[in-house]
Structure 1
Amino acid sequence: MTGSASPTGESTAGDASGTAQRWPLSSLELDDLVEELRARADSARVSQQRLGSLLDAVIAVSSDLELAEVLRRIVVGACTLVDATYGALGVLGPSGEELVEFVTHGVSDEERAAIGPLPRGHGLLGMIITSPRPQRVGHIAEHPDSYGFPPHHPPMTSFLGAPVRIRDQVFGNLYLTDKRSAPEFSDEDEAILIALAAAAGVAIDNARLYEHARTQQLWGEVLGDATQALLAGTAQDEVLAEVTAHVRRLAKADSCAVALRRGSDVVVVATSESEGVDMSEGSESVHPAFEKGEVVRDPAVLAAMLGPARIEPTGPDGSRATVPVALGETPTGVLVVDWAHEVHSDLLVHVEPFGRNLAVSLGAASARSDRARSELLEDRDRIARDMHDNVIQRLFATGMSLQSAAPMSPPEVRAKLDRAVDELDAAISDIRHTIFALHRVPGSRPLSAEIATLCGDAAVTLGFSPELRISGPVADVPEAVAPELLAVVREALSNVARHASASSVTVTVVVDDGAGDEGDEGDADGGDVRVVVTDDGRGIPDGAVRSGLGNLARRAESRGGTFRVASATGSGATLEWRVPLVEPRG
């Protein structure tokens, strides 16, 4: 027998003869039907509300571009949507096999501290890592992959997890536990979480792109400020000190150092360290910090100058980045960044090009400095030529005129003319010293090379090469004393060439830094420099005008030194000029 419900709500049935019979619908069956319709309406309303909540969560997740805030909102939104007590987002490391970051919700800071180290991806957490698809478990403790909880961990029962993908790559996993309104999570909860995870992947990708662009901008600002300062003439060490401080801050590192080539050595020129981190020699987590002025001996750091940039572990927890500072194929130095914790190679995306660009900035500043030095030398050379061709020649002509007039003048006038000629000679000598100083730029050439050049130039007027003897740390002669020393050598050789008729000259320069024995003649307050010029000529006759030598004597006395000339007719002369290395006290 078959039956059906009529449009009036009555039940119909067919008998054996095919005649339909009508049976009245009971009130119980009508109540069940109404209840079912009401339940379906409520379910549709709840589904609509949850869909609205999902859209609200997607909007909330996408409304910020700070990566840390985006991750937090994803976890909070997931817990709200499926009514979970606890939630977490585990971020996978570069290997894709372990968690390197764990963003939680529902657990206080005190509880997290009591639990201890963050999970690495064992048990149910690792199940989604090895098999990246949604997982739903009614009772965590009963699951065969359950790893157990560490001490002080809150108890958890139901579990729901889903991977968060960025394009085809798994960024991390969403983990939810303990549904409040039901013993376990439902199929609908799983569908809602999958939808949220898809939207979260887009939001995370946008946040990462924004963070990358913003970080690039910050690195570019540091480099731009450093380049501008270098080209403006700011001292290189001062600029690099600022660079190391900014690099340490941007890389969230504990120390940073820049070492550059200085001749055959690689010397640390700038360092920066964070406070409160053990960077001592005995620290196991990081390398000892570099000190400014230290000569780098570490083979690994020296090898890093030839590249490529790398980040390597140091000790049980620390990390070190070594980045070449190279101009093209020419190694200039190395940038060293240390962390007291483990970091990943993602930082090289910013640090490696920064090292290359820093080398370009240093090279541009050096070229600009060389160009400015060349322009300065050219300008000084022009001034020196003008002084020699115009001023000295006119003074010399005036002196010759006065000397020719002296024999025709009365004795008292002759004496005044002789004194005037002596003053002109002294002025000419001073101008010559100034001309010579104009050709010398501080730091352009070593002092010993300048002395050797003077002796070589004097060979043209002498007819032979003077013998040069240099002893002691000539490089320690202060910049203020060096021009005076060179003027003494030049004046002495000029006098020999003009008046001595010598066949040999010996120039001796001795620098005593004051570190000798207590009985030494060196200056006890910091040493002295001595110039001795000896020739085998005819000597200085009695009554000869000594205007140039008198000028050198005044220069020595003004610096607290001495000047002596020993000579005998026919046996040559010895000139000794001696001044302290340290400026005399007032």
Structure 2
Amino acid sequence: MELDDLVEELRARADSARVSQERLGSLLDAVIAVSSDLELAEVLRRIVVAACELVDATYGALGVLGPSGEELVEFVTHGITEEQRAAIGPLPRGHGLLGMVIASPRAQRVPNIGQHPDSYGFPPNHPPMTSFLGAPVRIRDQVFGNLYLTDKRSAPEFSGDDEAVLSALAAAAGVAIENARLYEHSRTQQLWGEVLGDATQALLEGAAQEVVLADVTDAVCRLARADACFVALRQGSDVVVAAASGEGDPAEAPGEVLREPRIRAAMLGPAHIEPGAEGGTRAMLPLALGESPLGVLVAEWAREEPTDHVPHLELLGRSLAVSLGAASARTDRARSELLEDRDRIARDMHDNVIQRLFATGMSLQSAAPMSTPEVRAKLDRAVDELDAAISDIRHTIFALHRVPGGRPLSAEIATVCGDAAVTLGFSPELRMTGPLADVPEDVAAELLAVVREALSNAARHAAASMVNVVVEVADDVSVVVTDDGRGLPEGVSRSGLGNLARRAEGRGGSFSVEPGDGAGTRVHWRVPLASGDGPGT
């Protein structure tokens, strides 16, 4: 009998060692399984599945704690179908036994959930559960979340060995979760870096600003999971939406002027988070170069607290401001180079072409008195044609100095009048009314040509002591130039004025040269502010 008992004891110890070895092997397999992926969502799912298999649990869950460490913000489950989860309703927030594990972060075993004093009960449509086993998942000294297992299949309740195995798995799970979070952080940084790099490269290559900013707002909605994002830039005294993405307010559309005081204030303050519309959250990121505000980037969430995304958004705002400033400087430099090149061409045309034409005209005029009447008439016509050619070249030279985004039109008109004072012998009177900044570039070029041609004719032919220039902008763009001289002599070529008349008619306007009140000449040029099909030919 004693021998039989000894053999039986040895057999039991062998079976126990074999079971322990099998469980240790299963634990190692589970550790390898949860560590074989770096996607955080997949790692969490594998941890729950491995825990259920190790302790033979019917149901399992991993509750992820929020920033406060007192409530669950995510709940990864196993053993419950999607239909069952939808029927149960909202996910648990950490009450009852779940809250017990949160409050006392150590392994907990309960034979019967319903009989425990901390039991909170189950919501409607929740499957019945009896035995319970919970253990915290730590990342170093911080509790990331808790593993919850219920209903052991092969026994009425979980054993001490189950608790030990689950605690070991939870320790390994903490390492796997930390690795996954580090990988996710690195990958997120890489994605944000690509957004910054692409935006900077595109802006410096001269891509359209609104297109680049639209790509940036799309990226913010995608990477930060924002419901809406827009970039507004300062334009004079206004703040105008340059690009928008997502489901934002209809007013937050490209081209809209923002009147909201908080938006304007955000351009001058630090990056911050504030309550959004209807209980949401809004991140306000100023775009500034030093103390010079350029605009603001705004990201909006309907519910989520975007604490993890704010550092990336702050870096995006700072880098985007630098890129916008560099692109603006590049544009200014390109404009300066263009103006220098046009100035060189204009000087060459003035110093070479005009001077040679003028010298040829003087030679023809000096030869006219020595010619027959027929030859003299041909010489006079040739001189008039040379004068018209010189006038056209001067118009071209002046147009070379105008580039989009250059000086205001009012300054250009004042410059033309100032230049005319040299040939007139006095400064013409100038009056300008209406929004000259609204005049399109092509119409502005025609307007300047009219003023220059009218002043040139007054200087050459009128012998005037007073010239008055009036420029008015309303529904039409109107230029009136009057003088008190003797008017245009008969027989003088009007090819320059005729060219301006054809251009005005091509835009649906009118051009006239008529005697002034009492004496002199009145030149009137008018075209609609919204030009027609384009200049005449």
TM-score for the superposition, normalised by structure 1: 0.87
Contact 1:244–1:257, Cα closer than 8 Å, also in 2:
yes
Q: Mind listing any 5+ residue stretches in structure 1 that lack a counterpart?
A: 1-26, 280-286, 514-527
Alpha-carbon distance between aligned partners in 2 of 1:419 and 1:372, rounded to the nearest angstrom: 43
Q: Identify the residue that residue 261 of structure 1 maps to in structure 2.
A: 234
* Secondary structure of 1:325 counterpart: strand
Determine the C-alpha separation between the residues in 2 that align with 1:543 and 1:357.
66
Partner residue, 1:209: 182
For residue 211 of structure 2, what is the aligned residue in structure 1? Answer: 238
Measured against aligned partners, the alpha-carbon deviations of 1:54-113 in whole angstroms (never above 9, x if no partner) come to 111111111100000000001111111111111111111111111111111111101110
For residues 319-357 of structure 1, give each alpha carbon's deviation from its aligned partner in whole angstroms, at most 9, with x where no partner exists.
Answer: 222222222333221111122222341111211111111
Residue 346 of structure 1 aligns to a residue in which SS?
Answer: coil
The correspondence for 1:355, drawn from 301, 317, 330, is 317
Q: Work out the CA distance in 2 between the residues paired with 1:306 and 1:121.
A: 42
Residue in 2 that maps onto 1:583: 532
| Greater fraction helix | 2
Q: Which amino acid aligns with 2:195?
A: V
Asked whether 1:150 is paired with 2:123, we answer: yes
Q: Deviation of residue 540 (structure 1)?
A: 3.0
Task: Say if 1:312 and 1:319, in contact at 8 Å, map to a contact too.
Answer: yes
Verify: 1:295 aligned to 2:243, yes or no.
no
Correspondence 1:423-438 to 2 at 5 A = 423-438=385-400
Contact kept? 1:138, 1:183, Cα under 8 Å: yes
Distance (Å, rounded) in 2 between the aligned partners of 1:416 and 1:558: 31
- After superposition, the CA RMSD in angstroms is 2.1
Between the aligned partners of 2:241 and 2:378, the Cα distance in structure 1 is 63
The Cα offsets for residues 382-413 of structure 1, whole Å up to 9 and x where unpaired, read as: 00000000000001101111111122122222
Contact 1:88–1:102 (CA under 8 A) maintained in structure 2: yes
AA matched with 1:229? A
The aligned amino acid for 2:150 is T
Residues 1:539 and 2:487 are matched in the alignment? yes
Q: How does 1:281-430 map to 2 (within 5 A)?
A: 290-314=252-276, 318-430=280-392
Shift of 1:532: 0.6
Distance 2:250 2:440 in 1: 35
Contact 1:140/1:146 (8 A) holds in 2? yes
| CA deviation vs aligned residue, 1:468-518 (integer Å, no higher than 9, x gap) | 2223332332222211110111122233334434332211112332xxxxx
Q: Is the 8 A contact 1:380 1:438 kept in 2?
A: yes
What is residue 284 of structure 1 aligned with on the other side? Answer: none
Aligned residue-pair number: 534
TM-score of the superposition, structure 2-length normalised?
0.94
Distance 1:260 1:43 in 2: 73
- Separation in 2 of the partners of 1:472 and 1:198? 76
| AA of the residue aligned to 1:367 | A
CA distance in 1, matches of 2:60, 2:121: 17
Q: Secondary structure at the match of 1:480?
A: helix
Is the Cα contact below 8 Å between 1:138 and 1:158 reproduced in 2?
yes
Report the CA distance shift for 1:554/1:408 in structure 2 as closer, same or farther (over 3 A): farther
Q: Which moved more, 1:83-92 or 1:440-449?
A: 440-449
Aligned counterpart in structure 1 of residue 151 of structure 2, from 175, 178, 190: 178
1:573 — aligned with what? 521
Does the CA contact (< 8 Å) of 1:91 and 1:173 recur in 2? Answer: yes
The 3-state SS of whatever aligns with 2:441 is: coil
Q: How many Å separate the matches in 1 of 2:251 and 2:308?
A: 23
Give 5+ residue unaligned stretches, structure 2.
Answer: none
Q: What's the CA shift for 1:137? A: 1.2
Kindly indicate whether the alpha-carbon contact (under 8 Å) linking 1:541 and 1:569 is maintained by their aligned counterparts in 2. Answer: no
Correspondence 1:450 to 2:423:
no
Q: Shift of the alpha carbon at 1:562?
A: 3.0
Give the Cα–Cα distance (whole angstroms) in 1 for the partners of residues 234 and 409 of structure 2: 22
Instruction: Give the Å deviation of 1:417.
Output: 1.5
**In structure 2, which of residues 21, 24, 27 is the aligned counterpart of residue 54 of structure 1?**
27
1:111 to 68, 79, 84: 84
Deviation larger for 195-204 or 411-420: 411-420
The separation in 1 between residues aligned to 2:456 and 2:178, in whole angstroms, is 79
Q: Distance in 1 between matches of 2:197 and 2:186?
A: 16
Change (3 A) 1:445 1:99: same
In 1, are the aligned partners of 2:96 and 2:118 still within 8 Å (CA)? yes
Larger Rg: 1
Change (3 A) 1:232 1:122: same
The 2-side partners of 1:292 and 1:545 are apart by 51
Q: CA deviation at 1:234?
A: 1.6
- Name the amino acid aligned to 2:165: I
Change over 3 Å in CA distance of 1:301–1:556 after alignment to 2: closer
The 2-side partners of 1:413 and 1:489 are apart by 34
Pair 549,298 (structure 1): closer, same or farther in 2 beyond 3 Å: closer
Match of 2:54 among 81, 92, 95: 81
| 2:196 corresponding residue in structure 1 | 223
Contact 2:59 2:78 (8 Å CA) reproduced? yes
Structure 1 partner of 2:478: 530
Q: Is the 8 A contact 2:266 2:284 kept in 1?
A: yes
In the other structure, the counterpart of 1:441 is 403
Q: Give SS of 1:533's match.
A: strand
CA contact (8 A) 1:539 1:569 kept: no
Q: Is the 8 A contact 1:240 1:270 kept in 2?
A: yes
